[in-house]
């Protein structure tokens, strides 16, 4: 990742950067004095990597996390002029510490993802570490709010790029709709019965391609019938193998 080559040293750079990442005056002057909100806007207006080069406090903060690459990726995904207020509040504290007017990075909460056990996954929430010594109560609350935002169900959906780092639990597959609601490749990973059904077919490659091309909420009745039998066989208590009553037609017969 970019962190392997980025200068995440704890010492400040000899020169500051302007909004395009070029060398210039020291950081407070390059961004227009001590106006913290304007400084945050300038940082968010440049690419994330250039912001790292221009803000020693941001580099230190990420480098001191338990999982710096994961934290950097979370920041990168939300980094833009339209960044949420919660991220802006964290940056406000960082640039204030850079100019000597705020709390130090050692007082900011650890943003590294925490492991979630499979047995606790349904109701798991990342907890905020002990930050009772932080001097900026508003920043503390904002950081906690950002954690809650990242723990929200919609944040970990496929549309947002999959499950969050550290998650080990997979969604329960209890119905045909559960399978068809996720991409075909992930359905294969989550359902051993589906993989077994396809691998046992002589024409497994052709059938797999047919499944993939018709996969989704609008799947035809023939595919739904086969999936229903697969899920039913997978949930048998005695674990006995059961041939599906419905077979996906093989070539050259029409599969629909």
Retrieve residue 255's tokens.
């599969």
In a domain, 165, yes or no: no
Run of H or E including 17: strand 16-17
At 60, list the tokens. Answer: 């230190």
Q: Stretch 21-35: mean pLDDT, rounded?
A: 39
Same domain, 150 and 187: no
pLDDT, one tens digit per residue, over 195-210 is: 888 888 888 889 889 9
| pLDDT tens digit sequence for 209-231 | 999 999 998 999 999 999 988 88
Determine the structural domain holding residue 133 and report its residue range.
Answer: 2-160
Looking at the structure, tell me whether residues 155 and 181 fall in a common domain.
no
Q: Are residues 78 and 112 in the same domain?
A: yes
d(CA 219, CA 217): 6
Give the SS3 label for residue 16: strand
pLDDT digits (tens, 9 = 90+) for 104-144: 444 444 444 555 554 544 444 444 444 444 445 556 656 66
Q: Within this chain, do residues 156 and 199 fall inside the same structural domain, yes or no?
A: no
Q: Does one domain contain both 126 and 108?
A: yes
Question: Is 84 within a domain?
Answer: yes
At 153 the pLDDT is 58
Q: What is the mean pLDDT of residues 141-149?
A: 64
Same domain membership, residue 106 and residue 75: yes
Report the domain count for the chain.
2
The arithmetic mean of pLDDT across residues 73-101, rounded, is 82
Give Rg (Cα) of the chain: 25
């Amino acid at each position: 990742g970019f962190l392997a080559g980025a200068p995440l040293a704890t010492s400040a750079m000899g020169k500051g950067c302007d909004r395009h990442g070029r060398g210039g005056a020291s950081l407070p002057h390059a961004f227009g004095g001590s106006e913290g909100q304007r400084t945050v806007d300038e940082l968010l207006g440049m690419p994330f990597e250039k912001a790292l080069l221009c803000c020693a406090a941001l580099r230190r903060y990420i480098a001191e996390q338990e999982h710096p690459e994961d934290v950097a990726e979370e920041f990168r995904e939300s980094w833009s002029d339209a960044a949420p207020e919660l991220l802006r509040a964290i940056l406000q504290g960082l640039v204030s510490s850079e100019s000597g007017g705020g709390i130090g990075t050692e007082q900011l909460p650890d943003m590294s993802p925490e492991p979630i056990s499979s047995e606790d996954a349904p109701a798991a929430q990342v907890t905020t570490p002990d930050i009772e010594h932080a001097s900026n109560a508003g920043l503390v609350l904002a950081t906690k709010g950002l954690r809650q935002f990242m723990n929200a169900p919609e944040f970990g959906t496929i549309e947002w790029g999959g499950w969050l780092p550290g998650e080990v639990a997979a969604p329960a597959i209890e119905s045909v709709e559960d399978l068809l609601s996720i991409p075909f490749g992930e359905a294969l990973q989550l359902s051993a019965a589906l993989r077994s059904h396809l691998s046992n077919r002589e024409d497994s490659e052709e059938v797999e391609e047919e499944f993939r091309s018709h996969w989704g909420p609008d799947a035809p009745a023939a595919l739904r019938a086969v999936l229903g039998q697969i899920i039913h066989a997978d949930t048998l208590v005695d674990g006995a193998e059961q041939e599906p009553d419905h077979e996906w037609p093989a070539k050259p017969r029409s599969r629909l």
